Chains A and B, each alone.
Chain A
Amino acid sequence: MTEKKNPCACACAAGHDPSRRSMMAGALALAALAPLAGSRDASAQEGGARSTKPEPGDKLAFMMGDRKDKEITPADLVVGGEPTLAYPMDPATGKVLSSRANLLTVVRLKPEAIGEKSKPNAAEGVVAFSAMCTHYGCPITTLHPTGTQIVCNCHGSVFDAANRGVVTTGPATRRLAMLPLEIKDGAIVVAGKFDGPLGPPQ
């Protein structure tokens, strides 16, 4: 007797809880064996080491360019500027948490343009979203002519940066997860966890 299992039983369930698995290279096999309870990955629990995911208190660092791995300050972001690609950075060690799954797209909007539901996650108009397009996973890198929406440059999906990253134009069907930010002592600081699943539904 054979039994076919729901094909999504393994990967999809895991994919919906981004905190569960480390994206460190080679760690997937371990991750597959990890307990399925939603929690920080094993290293965080056992060794006291931090998660490889963004955590409250993290700063943001440039993903590339002349200031790659350097901290992004509010002054670096201007209203109407193209999205800035960023990684979380551990403030204690300065370590940049670079992985595709951690990639953020950060834009600055006029504070008054930001919708009520997004306001608590914005900091002086600065908003950060998972940069992984929820269509096929390409990074979100382009500002839409409206100035408040952001565009995936692979298939043209458009997301509303002023309203929780909801899809305004497909083919993507799932909104972008937002990473809450705040300003502390003049610095951009992560204020919470992603508010939704990352990347495409599997």
Chain B
Amino acid sequence: MKLQTIVVALGAALVSGLAAAADYKPVTAERLANPEPENWLLTKGNYEGWSYSKLNQITTANVSKLKPVWSAATGVLSGHEAPAIVNGEYMFVATPHNHVFAYNAKTGKPLWHFQREVPEGIGALHRTNRGVALWNDKVYVGSVDCMLSALDAKTGKLLWDAQVCDWEEDSAYITSAPLVVKGKVLIGPSGGEFGVRGFIKAFDAETGKLAWTRYSVPAPGEPGSETWPQEGEWKDAWKNGGGTMWMPGNYDVKNDVIYWGVGNGAPWLGDQRPGDNLYLASVLALNPANGNINSHFQYHWNDSWDWAGMNAPTLVDFDRNGKKVSGLISAQRNGRLYWLDRDAKGKITYNKSEAYVHNNVFTSIDKKTGRPTYNEDAKPATGKTRTYCPSLWGGKDWPYEAYNPDTGMLYVPYNDNHCLTLTGMIQPRIPGQWSAGVDINRLDLSVKEGFDHIGGIQAWDINTGKEVWREKYAKSWNWGSILTTAGGVLFAGGTNDKMFRAYDAKSGKLLWEFPTPSGIISPPSSFQIDGKQYIAVVSGYGVDAQWIQGKMAKLAGWDEKVPEGGSVWVFALGD
């Protein structure tokens, strides 16, 4: 295949002094299943998707003394959405435009740099990358031009690469971090607005050989295909039906079940693909061996709002009437917070849901199934101009929620008081071209008159189902993933004032803040070396956060943009 031959191993060229490289502890299935507190081996810290660190040196009592230890400019623009992944003294940071930087996590000393050359002519709606994955002695990263690369963790040398998708003809591109499960690297592309039919692929972590592919939209005859048009004008809608699986999933180690989210419909207008459209806006329970679907839950049918369900739900155990119940919890883009049960076979059952932001679309929710009914006047349709809330960016976009088992709370980075007015149309599918069925000149974001905030953080008790506290940002959206720790602290960026903040996880009280050079839209992480706990985060505003900032400049007089440019920051308590 053409792109298989593209080997631009720039990393190797930049490596020197290998003899001095520290030992690298291979990443195993056991380590990923039970990650040591001192490392941050997975995008969300653990397979359950908690974004929680067991480290407790930094506490609510001392976090105000947090100081920067080192920082490093990436020299890269656009939105930096990847966490610092740490294994021993190795830290790996992926950035937009296909870079991976390796640093000594303690000192910030650069170890190596890899870049896959970005092909001329590529178009992508989001120029970002959400991080690397680790296995054995390798680092895995997806590229905007559809490749999955395996790098030598100690040198950055390219070991193999595999084609995941096709950017030239299909207009797919990768932003997701890979997820490694039992020796396979799983990753799926973005491209729902370009008419990409979503999928994830699993590759052998050692060889790069394709193990399986799971499409999110069934082909005719496959289970679920009956929820797509069978005949008439839209009978081929499934071919470009969207449902991209563009965020890494979570994994139930004990029961060997992967939970992976499925994105929005393509085009956005549901009347161009009448039916429920499985498995759009759903979570799939998958068998890691072959990608087979054990079960699913669809958050809303016939998605017409770009309310992608790509955020995999967080795996938790609920305390229900004194009994421990295995479940899933997830703040979805459609503005509802879902409590789902899961059994040992991965069967997902709806328990309940609550609105966590204003939604003018759902008129009722079936108590047994969670299935919504719709206000048709707020459902975008071909040839119609419709207004709906929350806007396409949802109550929460891709930034990670966090779960702290010590407080029993789920922390949700959210945005409220925003709506969207759009006019549906039929758009031709042109390679690289937006074909979501909406005229970009008439895609109008609006905010509630007299709004007191847009962004914020909500803390929900997962057992009582009640909101406990809320932080509101009067003059910013929130694009920041959350980290919470055993020290009772919650770390978050996400605002346009470029601050990195620490809160009391129990009360929501602001304890510390630090201004970084750009805005923070990358997930914070925590690690420990030589007995000292560190907090890492990457500053680097861009992508949709910046796009929205430009819209808010016109709507509310906010600054037109946040300065771009990536930098890695590492903090610790003073000696």
Contact = CB atoms under 8 A, between A and B. Distances in A.
Contacts of A29: 5-8
Which of A4, A103, A198: most chain B Cβ within 10 A? A4
The 5 closest A-B pairs by CB, nearest first: A100-B121, A101-B121, A137-B123, A4-B110, A25-B2
Given A11-B97, A155-B547, A156-B440, 13 more contacts: A1-B20, A3-B14, A4-B110, A7-B74, A7-B99, A15-B120, A21-B120, A23-B120, A28-B8, A32-B8, A100-B431, A136-B126, A156-B443
B430 A64 contact: yes
A198 B126 CA distance: 18
Interface residues of A, number: 51
A142 B441 contact: yes
A202 B168 CA distance: 18
B546 A171 contact: yes
B15 interface: yes
Interface string A149-161: 0011111100000
Interface string A130-162: 001100111101101100000111111000000
Nearest to A21: B120
Contacts of B322: none
5 contacts: A7-B99, A11-B117, A63-B430, A138-B434, A144-B441
B229 interface: no
A154 B125 contact: yes
B544 to A, nearest CB: 9
Contact of A170 (B97, B121, B550): B550
B22 interface: no
A29 B126 CA distance: 25
A86 B439 CA distance: 21
B16 A1 contact: yes
Interface string B94-126: 010111010000000111110101111111111
Contacts of A198: 120-121
B17 interface: yes
B127 A136 contact: yes
Interface string A1-19: 1111111101100110010
B365 interface: no
B123 A154 contact: yes
Interface of B: 2-3, 5-8, 10, 14-17, 20, 74-77, 95, 97-99, 101, 109-113, 115, 117-127, 168, 193, 428, 430-434, 439-441, 443, 546-547, 550, 560-561
A201 interface: yes
A152 to B, nearest CB: 7
A81 B430 CA distance: 18
A138 B115 CA distance: 22
B113 A4 contact: yes
A153 B3 contact: no
A133 B99 CA distance: 22
Contacts of B127: 136, 200
Interface of A: 1-8, 10-11, 14-15, 18, 21, 23, 25-26, 28-29, 32, 63-64, 85, 99-103, 132-133, 136-139, 141-142, 144-145, 151-156, 170-171, 198-202
Given A4-B110, A7-B76, A138 B432 contact: yes
A99 B16 contact: no
Contacts of B75: 6-8
Contacts of A99: 121
Contacts of B3: 25-26
A132 B547 contact: no
A138 B123 contact: yes
Contacts of A152: 440
B90 to A, nearest CB: 13
Given A100-B168, A156-B440, A170-B550, A136 B119 contact: no
A154 B434 contact: yes
A2 B433 contact: no
Given A4-B14, A29-B5, A202-B97, A137 B124 contact: yes
Contacts of A7: 74-76, 95, 99, 101, 113, 115
Nearest to B430: A139
B490 to A, nearest CB: 31
Nearest to B110: A4
B433 A153 contact: yes
A138 B121 contact: no
B551 to A, nearest CB: 9
Given A2-B111, A6-B75, A199 B14 contact: no
Given A2-B112, A142-B441, A18 B17 contact: no
Contacts of B561: 170
A5 B433 CA distance: 34
Contacts of B117: 10-11, 14, 28, 32
B430 A154 contact: no
B441 A156 contact: yes
Given A26-B2, A138-B433, A132 B123 contact: yes
A113 B467 CA distance: 59
A26 B110 CA distance: 31
A202 B121 CA distance: 12
Contacts of A18: 120
A73 B118 CA distance: 34
A2 B434 contact: no
A88 to B, nearest CB: 13
Given A99-B121, A132-B123, A139-B123, A2 B15 contact: yes
